[in-house]
Chains A and B, each alone.
Chain A
Amino acid sequence: MQDDQAAVEASEALEVVDRIIQLCIDADSGRADPFAFDVKAQLEKLRSLLSLWKTTSQLSKDVEAVYRIALLIRLQEEVVKHRSSLLYTDPLLVELKILASDPRELATAFLRAWRPIVALQQVNLELLRLAYGYWSNLRRLRLDQYDTSMLPSKLGIEQLKAMGVLSDEIPSKVLEEMHQELVAKCGDGMVNYWEFVSQGDFASTVKRAVLVSFLVTLGYAELEIEPLENRIWLKPKKPPGIPEAAEKKSLVVSIKA
């Protein structure tokens, strides 16, 4: 009998917690005023209900309610900051003003605060010359004459070993030589990854790319990537080493034959 009564009390209390969570969600999503929520009173309520929780799910509900209240306090702080900033204006006032103004007045107001960016987007003779050179050197692609052996395929480890790209063990001397070459080329600066790796034929390029990946993994060199310009820079590390708090990242480099 007592157990039943306790269960009923707990279920009613859970409804109260659900309501608190919902109020916090409404305030967070802008459907309710965050300051309409009495943080102190709701926390007191949660404290008084704490003795009723027996199961893990009831306790996790309670934890969620406390977490939501913490988020709401952060939201209240943001609102106070915004209201004290120069950008604060009552949204309702802005909306009423917008609806009362005609488009021409709004356009004029906008123009007074607007300083558009000036940028050029045009091709010059030098770019045209480069583009023409690129076009002239492009291999002709005719699907009807397409050699199926040219299609992309997978190279197995055995094939890479046969090409001399991979070996069971990379001699440290080879790596040292490559590190020396990198230091000589870069000095205090950096070198373009493709300039350093490309060696004319495909096999040598792949081999050098593999060796560079070892240099980077072992902490003898580092890569700097400019995603917008799609450029990769390589520079030697002085002194070589991998920091303890280093972030681990993988980089996929595609090499075309």
Chain B
Amino acid sequence: MAEAELSSKVRRAGQMLLYQRHRVPGVKGYELRRSLGKGYMRIIKILRAQLENIGLTIKIMPESDSPVNEDNEEELSSARFFVVLKDPLSLYDASTAGWSIDDLSGLAVVLSTIISRRGKAPRREVERILKEKFPDWKADMFIERYIRRGYISMDDNNNLILDWRSRGELDLQKLLQYVLGAGISEASPQSDKFETQSK
């Protein structure tokens, strides 16, 4: 592939991934293949390297819970590709992006409760735990907000389950680990970043 063609495809892939075209951000593998042609994973890998220079990266979320094989484009056709932050946000950055400490801790409570109960928890149970720390109106508002933003959804039996955004944005295993270890070490997101870099 000529260099000019390659860089034009990398630019196009960047636009596709960053510009929100559907209700859910990102694009599916088959859309990338249609626009960039066969061998689109090569373009994605180049773009990922470029994005990592500015603190972003590309995440691939498979349709099922199976692990991602980045070399198999056929398998990836139904997977969703999107851009995420490479490093964690600090509390200050999150608050300037519109997330209060209560918002974040409420989401941590809701998600870790759901994960610890095999991915499904009755809404009343989750509300009961939230109401231990927050007023009733706030607990209800949080749950509605998390549903609206795609972190959780509700099934027919009033159970809360994880939704697409939780699977896309969070390392669920680490979340549980960090919640269980909350307050034990004073490790902040910033120190976590240094930990990763030193490795």
Contact = CB atoms under 8 A, between A and B. Distances in A.
Interface of A: 29-30, 78-79, 82, 86-87, 89-91, 93-95, 97-121, 228-229
Contact of B178 (A91, A102, A110, A120): A110
A89 B182 contact: no
B101 to A, nearest CB: 5
Interface string B170-199: 111111101111110001110010000000
Contact of B109 (A91, A106, A228): A106
Contacts of B91: 104, 107-108, 111
Contact of B113 (A91, A101, A109): A91
26 contacts: A91-B113, A91-B116, A94-B179, A95-B116, A95-B129, A97-B180, A98-B129, A101-B182, A104-B105, A105-B182, A105-B183, A106-B105, A107-B91, A109-B175, A110-B179, A111-B90, A113-B172, A115-B84, A115-B85, A115-B87, A117-B82, A118-B83, A119-B19, A120-B19, A228-B22, A229-B21
Q: How large is the interface on B (under 10, 10 to 19, 20 to 34, 35 or more residues)?
A: 35 or more
A78 B118 contact: yes
- Of A97, A102, A112, A228, most buried by chain B (CB within 10 Å of CB) is A112
A117 B113 contact: no
Contacts, number: 157
Contacts of A87: 115, 172-173, 176
Interface in B57-111: 57, 59, 82-91, 94, 97, 101-102, 104-105, 107-109, 111
A104 B101 contact: yes
Contacts of B90: 111
B45 interface: no
Nearest to B183: A105
Interface in B106-138: 107-109, 111-113, 115-118, 122, 129, 132-133
A91 B182 contact: no
A228 B173 CA distance: 31
A87 to B, nearest CB: 6
Contacts of A94: 112-113, 116, 176, 179-180
Contact of B94 (A29, A95, A111): A111
Contacts of B183: 100-102, 105
